[in-house]
Structure 1
């Protein structure tokens, strides 16, 4: 009887092992692509015209075409800022989707009607000064953006946009690896609500990466960064020889969401 029991157990274990081997490994999600448009504006009039176009024409068109989580942000205290900026963040499932949406202004009839004031602006009465466009691919360890949720009004929320530039391409890859192996986990664990991490593949400040975190308010932001700097894992990682000098410039912007932003 004992031999039969052992034989049955062996067969069961063998079948379990074969079943586990036959099951295909879980496929990681495809990495998203992100477009970040930065509108430089000079005054309230330009801001109002841009707001009208984005809220009544452009975002609705993106929504109709399946792009749901479009973020629109403005420089904190934009009225008094010397460099007034409006940021439009759009996530794409693929480069093909990015190229398709890039032609939206030319092909969408409703945009042409509702966005006429913006699209048909005169050469000496433009709705912005200049537009910067940055194209990114999501980090391998954070392949999808995360739409944050809050119980506080949009007017109180703070979004922190950081660009880390590196002196060389090799040092840049090193910083991306540092994020993938170490920093992404820390941000998630301490509750900083990261929205996206992007490897810049086309932009004016390369080589660089860009990421966006968000907070209930500025006090919460200060608290979360203290948690990060005090985190034992960060203290250990930041002193490792292999990660030294991989950031030559940290460009940090504090932003607030527009009323019509999706998040």
Structure 2
């Protein structure tokens, strides 16, 4: 059974280190007042507090195309161990500087909340890439294009098959073509499971399009293999851009 699972998922075979755990927060906000409050909180309170807690890089991203009904803000937080995620709230409660800097957000009243809803997605890094990486880009943040993808699968085992496909084959193509991936992760807690997510980064939209054009021929070499058929039931692609205060 163990060997069968290894062959199917590819996860145990390619372990290269202790995997990071990632939290992806998704703020659903509406209107300038909420947008300003969340930006102020993240820039002046949350990110500095995370730095003090030993997390050097926090990513904040917003969609390239704004929704007319609500705005979204994505916050990416990497943890070396799951214990870091479990203990961070307690650390923030004890951080008096954070409590002071974030008081407008933290003490918001019920009829003037800083957001409509707040999602939290927890991911475990893939074995082939157990840590996150900062983008190696020269373009200003305001010109960059980041691509956040979510691949949903019909069942847990089929999702493991897709993760195995990444670990064995796809990630090497992304690396060869310099997709500047920040992370690859299996969602272990979220509202659209089973699924995986990953974030690639580009200088601009034209750079993104060229990379994917180059990816196609390489991907065709593996996409037709019988063991990888029908392992994605839904592909959600989001184009985002880092805020000027994002670490990533």
Same fold (TM over 0.5): yes
Tell me which of the two structures has the higher relative contact order, counting C-alpha pairs closer than 8 angstroms and 6 or more residues apart.
2
Q: Can you list the C-alpha shifts for 1:104-139, whole angstroms capped at 9, x where unaligned? A: 342211111111100000101001010000001000
What displacement does 1:81 show?
Answer: 4.3
SS at match of 1:194: coil
Who is 2:33 aligned against?
45
Alignment of 1:1-263 (within 5 A): 28-78=16-66, 81-231=68-218, 234-263=219-248
Larger Cα-atom Rg: 1
* SS at 2:115 equivalent: coil
Cα separation, 1, equivalents of 2:91 and 2:116? 22
Specify the alignment match of 2:11 in structure 1: none
Q: 1:28–1:180: structure 2 CA closer, same or farther, 3 Å change rule? A: closer
Equivalents in 2 of 1:159, 1:31: separation in Å? 23
Q: Give structure 1 regions of 4+ aligned residues with deviation exceeding 4 angstroms.
A: none
* Paired residue secondary structure (2:201): strand
Count of residues in correspondence between the two structures:
234
State the distance in 2 between where 1:83 and 1:250 align. Answer: 22
Partner SS for 2:28? strand
When normalised by structure 2's length, the TM-score is: 0.92
